[in-house]
Amino acid sequence: MIQALRALGIHKSFGAHNVLGGVDLSVARGEIVCIIGPSGSGKSTLLRCLNWLSPPDLGEVWLGDTRLGQTRRPDGRLAPVPAGTLRRQRARIGMVFQHFNLWPHMSAIENVMEGPRAVHGLSRSEARDLAMTTLSRVGLAEQGGRYPGQLSGGQQQRVAIARALAMRPEILLFDEATSALDPELVGEVLDVMADLAGRRTTMIVVTHELGFAAAAADRIVMMDAGRIIEAGPPRQVLAESEQARTRAFVARTLSRTAALTALIAPRA
């Protein structure tokens, strides 16, 4: 299989706190990988290293045959790539954050248009056509003229997904895309993500939504204490794991879901 992204020996610390302790991860083109694990296990930091928003202290990231963020000098040493080169590299990776990060002074369609115009040099009319097509894809064709403050959280997150898609990335990264949403809005975002998975969009998804991971992922990666402790098909990781830490995390997550279901279930 053709590799879309490879991360090799990723280490990252913040002060004395070691967040990632040597993570290796490869994702094939068209593969959907879900990363699960407890809070503080390094999942979000790993995503930020993968797109060089937070460059790792040690290790390398390859996007296809391009080494991200670094170039080798004639003397054999590594050096940061120029800022313009890094922007072009990052444009090949779409990122959807927890908190939308939309520009509040721009309408939904303007938020989606900005990247293709600034990075790819599209004309305003070309970017507008692309933005309308992309907003339609996430079910927001009628909301393009609204500003983020006029949209629900679920709609804002779908605009954020459209913004990432409009850059025509080779891979999409989702960092807990539903965690900031009210519970009743989670489904509309997961539906869009499931549609992308069905289209075989290459995706790395950090999530606590185990149902989505079970249904959409080709492979689930379990992280704990800054390392990958297990990876495999959904059934293997979620139902047949030999790792006690994975079993405990899955059981605790599912028990919270079951408790909520019982709480809201109609009484006889």
pTM given for the model: 0.90
- % residues pLDDT > 70 (the chain): 95
Q: Is the pLDDT of residue 220 over 80?
A: yes
* Mean pLDDT for all residues in the chain: 91
* Phi, psi (deg, nearest 5) at residue 263: -65, -40
Given pLDDT bands bounded at 50, 70 and 90, which one contains residue 266?
Answer: low
Residue range 51-105, pLDDT digits in tens = 999 999 999 999 999 999 999 888 888 899 999 999 899 999 999 998 888 999 9
Q: Which of 33, 196, 24, 176 is nearest to 98 (CA)?
A: 176
Long-range residue pairs from 83-88, CB within 8 A, at least 24 positions apart, any chain: 86/52, 87/119, 88/119
3-state secondary structure of 167: coil
Strands 3-14, 93-96: parallel, antiparallel or unpaired by DSSP? unpaired
Average pLDDT estimate for 217-229: 96
Residue that wins the pLDDT comparison between 171 and 185 = 171
Q: What integer pLDDT is reported at residue 195 of this predicted model?
A: 93
Residue range 112-130, pLDDT digits in tens = 999 999 988 999 999 999 9
Q: What integer pLDDT is reported at residue 257 of this predicted model?
A: 58
Which H or E run contains 114? helix 108-120
Q: What integer pLDDT is reported at residue 261 of this predicted model?
A: 45
Q: In this structure, what DSSP letter does residue 151 have?
A: S
Average pLDDT estimate for 7-26: 95
Q: Is the pLDDT of residue 223 over 50?
A: yes
Q: Is the pLDDT of residue 10 over 50?
A: yes
**Cα gap 146→193, rounded to integer Å:** 22
Q: Is the pLDDT of residue 255 over 90?
A: no
Whether the CB-CB separation of 100 and 159 falls below 8 Å is answered with: yes
Given pLDDT bands bounded at 50, 70 and 90, which one contains residue 256?
Answer: low
**Domain ranges for the chain:** 107-168
Given pLDDT bands bounded at 50, 70 and 90, which one contains residue 267?
Answer: very low
Whether the CB-CB separation of 197 and 25 falls below 8 Å is answered with: no
